[in-house]
Structure 1
Amino acid sequence: MATVLVLATGCSTAAESPPEPAGADPSVSASATPSSSPVRDMVGDFPPFPSGGLPRSTARALQAALRHGVLVRPEIRGATASVIVTGEGSWSGAVGRGAHGQVFTPTSRQMTASIGKTITTAAILRLVDEGELGLDDPATDHLPPALASFDLNDASVRDLLGMRGGFGEPDRYWELQGKGVSVKRLLSGLPAPHSAAGETTQYTNVYFVILAAIVEHLTGQPFAEAVLAGVLSDPALKGFRFPLRNALAGDGDEVEVDAATLARWGYELYGGHVVSEAMVREMADFKGEWYGLGTIDMSGDGDLGVPALGHGGGDVSIASRLVVLPEAGVVVAIQASPDLLDPVFEIVPELVDAATRH
């Protein structure tokens, strides 16, 4: 497994600038000529979730790898992790303490941060599967009247899912998010577009609040209720918690989960058990970019160096990664304290190695 350098991760839900991908300035990049992404054809067909744990020797190796990964990185206070190996089983473990001194256990629940965007993406794609909307529909066509008048730069649903809406965060986004304002109040601070929709890729959290508002409008339910009764209805996913019930949770803000449930979510979603295989492949069709639809490409030489995808995110107290390696048949979820995204990602290949060597 190649040594990890850095990875595009996703937002921080704190009042700070979101982490950016590696490179000169890849958070704002011109769209490449569309080309097929190798990982695209590897997703969407995982077998049913393997019941039972991984062999004892593998479990010991994974716990040792997690402990070593934390011990050699003094900036990390502690971590929880879960690993699933297709056709074999799963494991969960914990080391150290959280940012507030709490002892981590395998069932500790932490923030998903921007990994929550994968939930919003799945909810939208299920609506596509059900014929309620199209990926290339203008986003404003599916918003309630109170929100449809905002200038969304003629962005399509696909543009918002792919971070290519062409406009940035509203003024005082993090401050207003923290106050729990209405989506209408949040969108009142939208800036003028910086480029045509679909032209550039720029990580923008508010796109997923808008998408969550679409979910609310089309389902007639608050966002949390819609996803808990929909894409998260499998009892195996009951570990998710939504302190925010409305569309403000669409960017992952305040969403909490334990590592085992997070890994299971990645397995079910990218394995094709939540939305159709066609929609999963839309998520993984990066078209030469680092961001697909609610999904980050982690396959490059500067990332894992093998076919991989998923999402990451950081909060003031936690850094989270969800990584799916479809060719290897391995899913890794890791949540660590504090908000240091790259060192946390460096532990992922150590866990993958431990899972596949034993």
Structure 2
Amino acid sequence: MPEAVLPATARTLLARVARTQRDGRAPSLVAGVVRDGGLAWSAGRGAVAEPHADVQYRLGSISKTVTAVLVMRLRDEGRLSLDDPLERHLPGTPLGGRTIGQLLSHLAGASAESPGGWWERVPGGSLADLALGEDDVVLGAARRFHYSNLGFGLLGELVARQRGTSWDDAVHAEVLAPLGMTRTSPRPSGAAAEGRAVHPWADAVLPEPEHHAGVMAAAGQLWATLADLGRFAAFLLGDTAEVLDPATLEEMTEPAGVDSSAAGWSAYGLGLQVMRVDGRRLVGHGGSMPGFLAGVFVDRDEQTGAVSLANATAGVEPVVLGLLADLRAAEPRIVDAWTPSPSPVPLESLGVWFWGVSPSVLRAVGGGRLHLGPLPGRGGRASRFEQRADGRWVGLDGYYAGETLRIAEDHLDLGTFIFTRTPYDPAAPVPGGVDERGWQA
């Protein structure tokens, strides 16, 4: 069980939720913070049934992250590659030449919405019913980030065909059941909030419709309780219950497409939004459907998350970001104590190396990894490296992501860059050689 927040922290969090519900005029709002595998605090405001953590709300586009998990499971099983064209697994669409990875990161140039009626308010049918055409391709491949509900509808259909079942059933069998999310479903079940629109100029509400979106379900169909959404936040923090390999989850959090319309640093990985807020890197997803707004974001370094659900079409600020900031300020994480650990390479290989005349430091870091970066106070390229099963050291991030670091006694070889123990060491295999006259005054 997660440790409850301190009383003073609880008051701060409640004050934020209460103000958000009032100022945003949400008929009801439930929210909570997550650590140690579940909700450490939660509250409900407005017309909320009790217990508030067990009332279903619609998740909207958080469903996309669940769809992405299903796709990544297929990738890990070897049934597809992120570089595969869609046509290989889902023939007959105008986006057949775009890759699965591009669809996951909204870089495929697919139209934002599916053709026909507004899928969020009109019951959906099959892929054939969409009657897709060339107008549903609006940008070139990998040209820019362009959020696409249609793209995730196609990914949901890909999952269904690969598994020989419906998207709904695949979600339940492969994600919800293993994570213990027993109160998450494609349609409302049991205690559930009714979607509401709030009049822009009056304190009046209007019920919003509810339906199954058919082939577009993978883009926004799921309903969940706050407790279940908290469990999904714990999943994003690393408690994957073998639904995904932790390395695959980490891969999903790497930014690919940049959302240039966002007010600040915002990007999209593989089915996950990635943001830089107040110097923190947050991952998760927001969701909206007519009558509902939702959010789940986690700080993987701090090992905390925040979740929120509201039955309002618009007007409620992303309260989860504020809750994360409040929790971090009131109860910052106490990190584990440092203890010595063996270096994954001989100590003689560590220390200062020069690329030309630019010094960098190779050092061992936690988890058996290496880090190559500039000396403190100097700018320059930096990357972490992890050793693969074949013995290669491969870059995890930064400029050298995906590149192989080869460590020799007298030099480092990194993507044709040769690092030497002294600037332009004439005894090392420096590309182009070293002038025999050496350094001159």
Q: TM-score range with shorter-chain normalisation?
A: 0.7 to 0.9
User: In structure 2, what is the Cα distance between the partners aligned to 1:153 and 1:194?
Assistant: 14
User: How far is 1:309 from its partner?
Assistant: 1.4
* Structure with the bigger percentage of strand: 2
Query: 3-state DSSP class of the match of 1:331?
Result: strand
2:252 paired with 1:275:
no
Describe the shift of the 1:151–1:351 C-alpha distance in structure 2 as closer, same or farther (beyond 3 A).
Answer: closer
Partner of 1:67: 18
Give the superposed CA RMSD.
Answer: 2.7
| CA deviation after TM superposition for structure 1 residue 83, in Å | 1.3
Secondary structure of the corresponding residue to residue 102 of structure 2:
helix
Write the distance in 1 (CA, Å) between the matches of 2:239 and 2:135. Answer: 37
Structure 1 SS opposite 2:180: helix
Aligned length: 295
Which structure would you say has the larger Rg? 2
Kindly indicate whether residue 217 of structure 2 is the aligned counterpart of residue 242 of structure 1.
Answer: no
Taking the TM superposition and a 5 Å limit, the aligned residue runs for 1:90-169 are: 90-97=40-47, 105-143=52-90, 148-152=91-95, 154-168=97-111, 169=113
Aligned pairs for 1:175-254 within 5 A: 175=119, 178-189=122-133, 191=135, 193-234=137-178, 236-243=180-187, 244=212, 247-253=215-221
Match of 2:434 in 1: none
Q: Which has the higher helix share?
A: 1
For 2:15 and 2:292, locate their aligned partners in 1 and report how far apart those are by CA, in whole Å.
Answer: 21
**Cα–Cα, structure 1 residues 173 and 155, in superposed 2: closer, same or farther, change >3 Å?**
farther
Tell me the secondary structure at the aligned position of residue 169 of structure 2.
Answer: helix
* Paired-residue identity, %: 26
Aligned residue identity for 1:75: R
Aligned CA distance change for structure 1 residues 86 and 299 (closer, same or farther; 3 Å): farther
Deviation at 1:60, TM superposition (A): 4.9
Measured after TM superposition, the shift of residue 330 of structure 1 is 0.9
Relative to structure 1, is the Cα distance of residues 55 and 287 closer, same or farther in structure 2, using a 3 angstrom cutoff?
closer
Give the partner amino acid of 1:264.
R
Partner of 2:274: 297
Q: Which runs of 5+ in 1 are unaligned?
A: 1-50
1:137 partner letter: D
Distance of aligned partners of 1:163 and 1:135 in 2 relative to their CA distance in 1, 3 Å threshold: same
Q: Is the 8 A contact 2:285 2:296 kept in 1?
A: yes
Q: Indicate if the aligned counterparts of 1:153 and 1:196 stay in contact, CA closer than 8 A.
A: no
Instruction: Give the alignment's TM-score, normalised by structure 2.
Output: 0.61
Corresponding residue of 2:26: 76
Residue number in structure 1 paired with 2:379: none
Bigger relative contact order (CA 8 A; separation at least 6) = 1
- Whether 1:357 and 2:330 are equivalent positions in the alignment is yes
